[in-house]
């Protein structure tokens, strides 16, 4: 099969382990199929959970998936902040953790429509270069803020020094920024859902058809891609299925 082929066409849900990058998992699927491959939203190497991959002609439908809301579970160390907002960064400050009442007040201020600074270790471009590459070189830059939608932010468990949070957020929200706003950093981060797709469905050997995946998306998400493009991808998939 030639490289970057338009087939096989489909959607693959993967439960990413801690360690490899999202790109590494995309590259693995590309090696298996020979088709152009992409994902609909990166996860940091330390993070785990749902990664939605698109294969072949389905990559043209990425705009239908990238704007979906996300669900996460994270463990936050409330005793220190780090340069990256996660365990991989250098400790910036150590302090006494907030009381439960103080934590609840902070959480209340982070629900709804909020402005949060983008983490220095993110993939956002600053002056044409990825922020995380600048951070790795020790270059300090003033990171911009981003408007974020936090639909739900609930405490699952609280020990005094650590808190486990369940989050439902809009696309583009950085959980590490929420942890930093609480005076802490993420110890773990797991993405449990992307829009209507749940991590419990993840199986790298099971492919969702484009038609079934689109049928689960809200109409406004599907409409991000012109109908003629969607029809072409569905036709490619029909040809692909007839061969298999």
Query: Catalytic positions, please?
Result: 44
Strands 185-194 and 48-55: parallel
User: Where in 17-111 does DSSP place strands (E)?
Assistant: 37-39, 48-55, 70-77, 80-82, 91-94
Q: Nearest Cα to 12, choosing from 201, 232, 242, 221?
A: 201
Q: Is 219 helix (H, G, I), strand (E, B) or coil?
A: helix
Q: Nearest Cα to 71, choosing from 222, 195, 178?
A: 195
Distance CA 188, CA 53 (A): 22
> 191, exposed or middle or buried, with CB in 10 Å at 0-12, 13-18, 19+?
buried
Residues with Cβ within 8 Å of residue 102, at least 6 apart in sequence: none
Question: How many residues are recorded in the chain?
Answer: 244
């Amino acid at each position: 099969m030639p490289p970057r082929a338009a087939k096989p066409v489909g959607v693959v849900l993967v439960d990413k382990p801690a360690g490899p990058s999202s790109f590494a998992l995309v590259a693995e699927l590309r090696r298996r199929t020979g088709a152009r491959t992409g994902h609909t939203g990166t996860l940091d190497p330390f993070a785990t959970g749902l990664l939605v991959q698109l294969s072949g002609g389905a990559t043209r439908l990425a705009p239908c998936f990238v704007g979906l809301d996300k669900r996460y579970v994270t463990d936050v160390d409330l005793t220190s902040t780090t340069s990256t907002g996660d365990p991989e960064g250098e400790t910036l400050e150590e302090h006494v953790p907030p009381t439960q009442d103080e934590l609840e007040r902070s959480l209340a201020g982070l629900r709804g429509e909020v402005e949060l600074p983008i983490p220095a270790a993110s993939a956002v471009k600053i002056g044409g270069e990825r922020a995380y590459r600048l951070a790795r070189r020790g270059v300090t830059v003033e990171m911009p803020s981003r408007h974020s939608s936090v639909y739900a932010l609930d405490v699952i468990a609280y020990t005094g020094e650590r808190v486990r949070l369940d989050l439902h957020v809009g696309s583009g929200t950085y959980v590490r920024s929420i942890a930093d706003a609480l005076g802490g950093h993420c110890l773990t981060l797991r993405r449990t859902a992307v829009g209507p797709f749940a991590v419990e469905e993840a199986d790298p050997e099971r492919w969702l058809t484009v038609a079934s995946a689109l049928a689960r998306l809200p109409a406004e998400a599907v409409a991000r891609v012109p109908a003629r493009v969607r029809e072409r991808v569905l036709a490619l998939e029909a040809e692909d299925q007839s061969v298999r």
